[in-house]
Amino acid sequence: MNVVILAGGMGTRLAEETEVRPKPMVEIGGRPILWHIMKHYAHYGHRDFLVALGYKGEIVKRFFLDYYTLNGSLTVRMGSGKIDYHRRECEDWSVNLSETGLETNTGGRLLRLMPSLGTSTFMLTYGDGVSSIDLDALLRFHKATKKIATVTAVRPPARFGALVLEGPRVQRFTEKPQAGEGWINGGYLVFEPDVARYLKDDRTSLEKDTLERLAADGELAAYRHEGFWQCVDTMRDLRQLRDSWDSGNPPWKLWP
């Protein structure tokens, strides 16, 4: 199944990192967030990716070109410039890197990709968040609803730790990984090709225009994910994910 990844935004809220690279290329454990997302999808058998580029898209292209070229061992024949590759180890992915415009909105980026998506169900996510979502369960849910679109509803991570009180005494501090109230769009979506009817032009917002109209028409379902989910919006978010990766047991790493 095709997987669309929106990776063209400017990531202004993470300016410390995104002045020199797009947010999906910010690294966790020496690999871009984009790579982590793709490993998640590939774990469930989805290896055909369409990446919508915009801001500093050339950096994303360079990563994938170098990733293939530099993986494994090689011999360089200095006299002729010939390169012999040995034991090349690289994921078996098809990655379509499409320039979708610097100022194009999220729905507009999807609209530009629609001719490449054909007439089959496809998945979509953003290039700045990781999750432990069961993609098989998400797809089963989507098919059962017979709606044009399914959004994954998640509980946002708690911003602060909590105090456990006993009268005036603080018993202990506790970190709550997910907030106890409210659901938000977690960005792991499934669409039928009919979504094209809800995409007008480059200015179309996937969130404000497309999803809200689908909801009004009764064509949007919500799959509730109670597990781990984290979007990288701030340096604090990024530090948390890096610390989690360094701990050796990041909750979004489902692959071996």
pLDDT at 132 exceeding the cut of 90: yes
pLDDT at 161 exceeding the cut of 70: no
Nearest-angstrom CA–CA distance, 127 and 110: 13
pLDDT bracket for residue 162 (50, 70, 90): low
In a domain, 11, yes or no: yes
Q: How many domains does the chain have?
A: 1
In a domain, 254, yes or no: no
In a domain, 29, yes or no: yes
Q: What are the tens digits of pLDDT across the range 195-216?
A: 999 999 999 999 999 999 999 9
In a domain, 234, yes or no: yes
Task: Please tell me the predicted confidence (pLDDT) of residue 11.
Answer: 86
The CATH number for 81's domain is 3.90.550.10
Task: Please tell me the predicted confidence (pLDDT) of residue 93.
Answer: 97
In a domain, 195, yes or no: yes
Core vs surface per residue 98-129: b (16+ CB within 10 A) or e: bebbeebbbbbbbbbbeeebeeebbbbbbbbb
In a domain, 255, yes or no: no
User: What would the mean pLDDT of 81-98 be, rounded to a whole number?
Assistant: 89
In a domain, 252, yes or no: no
Q: What are the tens digits of pLDDT across the range 29-45?
A: 999 999 999 999 999 99
**80 phi and psi, to 5 degrees?**
-105, -15
User: What would the mean pLDDT of 162-178 be, rounded to a whole number?
Assistant: 70
Q: What are the tens digits of pLDDT across the range 45-66?
A: 999 999 999 999 999 999 999 9
Could you tell me the residue range of the domain that residue 45 belongs to? 2-246
In a domain, 202, yes or no: yes
Task: Please tell me the predicted confidence (pLDDT) of residue 175.
Answer: 62
Which pTM value belongs to this model? 0.91
